[in-house]
Amino acid sequence: MKLFKSLLVAPATLGLLAPMSATANEVTISDFNPAEQLVITNSRVDGLEARFNDIEAGSFSETTSASFKAIMALGAIDGKGVTTTKTDGNEDLEFGYSFQTKLETSFTGDDSLSIAIDSGNYSSTDDFALDILAGMDETGDMLKVDGIGYKFPLGDNITVLVGDGLDASKQFTTACVYGGPSDVLDDCGNVNAAVDEGGAHLSLEYDFGNGFTTAFGYAGDETSLGTEGGQDGYGLNAAYSADNYGLSVTYGIVEDGNDNDTYTAFNGYYSFDNGLNISAGYEIGDKDNEPATSDETEAYFVGINGEVGPGELGVAAGTYGSMTEANGSIPDRMMYEVYYDYALNDGMTITPVIFTAEKATATAMDETGFMVKTTFKF
């Protein structure tokens, strides 16, 4: 059968070649260069392959990266919102989650564009026990862009950051190495001077190169930047970081209409050779257009953390936010916490925490809670 097919194909092939022989005087063997034709063919194949790779990669830049974090927390608080005349301690077991995505890319190799997209089931209007935990996003199960920023160098020592949804203190250096899980004590006593306005953002950091840094930050209402119609926050920060200790001072101004509240925070830490760290912070504030009995605020904090066994143990005490003179006979509301960070692997960490927050009013009760927070990074 193969022989029969060959006999049929041969005459047809000769028929096609016959017209070509008539023009043989126009095309000679010297006009055909196999090496040149091979180069042209390879270049065309390479071009098609490059286009295919771009489509296969989703047209993403090679410098673009994505990181993800999921937080789950389970716990309860005894005494939340309870007065001495009530017996219900709101000890219901509650669950919360947060999912965070960070996209980052670079256009020059020295700059970076970052976008944070978050979701969580906590709403600030809820009486939700787990709002005490840092990192829980207030999105009510909705995805939202939590911040966008473009950072680039300006000369050899200055770094500029512009964006939206970023605190004015985004480029500040706070001298604190305590990283507890609570949203109350993780600011290390720098409660208001950090100016966490979270609006339109502009900041500059200057690195002197010998451990000294200084930074300026601004964040304001996007619809009324720098005017009395909205709220604006300005901050200045200076810090020094050595091998085993650091110091910083932060000054913040919050302008809201005709009110100009000012705050100054001092922070420091020391790291011992055995891996133990101690951090402390103190802040004073002057609130504008307030009565003389409540125009001054203060906040303070001290925390100790270090490696114990396979994880990190941390203990801290500090004011529950900033206190004012208006508390009268009620002493500063203090909070105490103990946590233990245990990494099961590179991407999963379990953190149990016990805390107590003293009563907020004369008729309220102390709040005591226990929670377990699990963090996944991938």
So where are the chain's domains? 65-377
Q: Is the pLDDT of residue 52 over 90?
A: no
Helix (H/G/I), strand (E/B), else coil: 185: coil
Residue 179 confidence (pLDDT): 86
Residue 81 confidence (pLDDT): 52
| Distance from the Cα of residue 294 to its chain's centroid | 34
Task: Read off the pLDDT of residues 224-259 as tens digits, 9 standing for 90 and up.
Answer: 776 666 788 899 999 999 999 999 999 999 887 777
pTM value is 0.76
Contact at 8 Å (CB) between 238 and 218? no
Task: Read off the pLDDT of residues 281-291 as tens digits, 9 standing for 90 and up.
Answer: 999 999 887 76
> Hey, what CATH topology would domain 65-377 get?
Porin (2.40.160)
Whole-number Å distance between alpha carbons of 286 and 261: 6
* 142 contact partners, CB below 8 Å, separation of at least 6: 119
Contact at 8 Å (CB) between 267 and 175? yes
Higher pLDDT, 11 or 33: 33
Helix (H/G/I), strand (E/B), else coil: 362: coil
Tokens of 279: 């951090």
Let me know how long the chain is: 378
Contact at 8 Å (CB) between 252 and 268? no
Residue 343 confidence (pLDDT): 94
Q: Is the pLDDT of residue 311 over 60?
A: yes
Q: Is the pLDDT of residue 175 over 80?
A: yes
Contact at 8 Å (CB) between 185 and 167? no
Indicate the pLDDT class of residue 78, thresholds 50, 70 and 90. confident
Residue whose structure tokens are 């306005």: 197
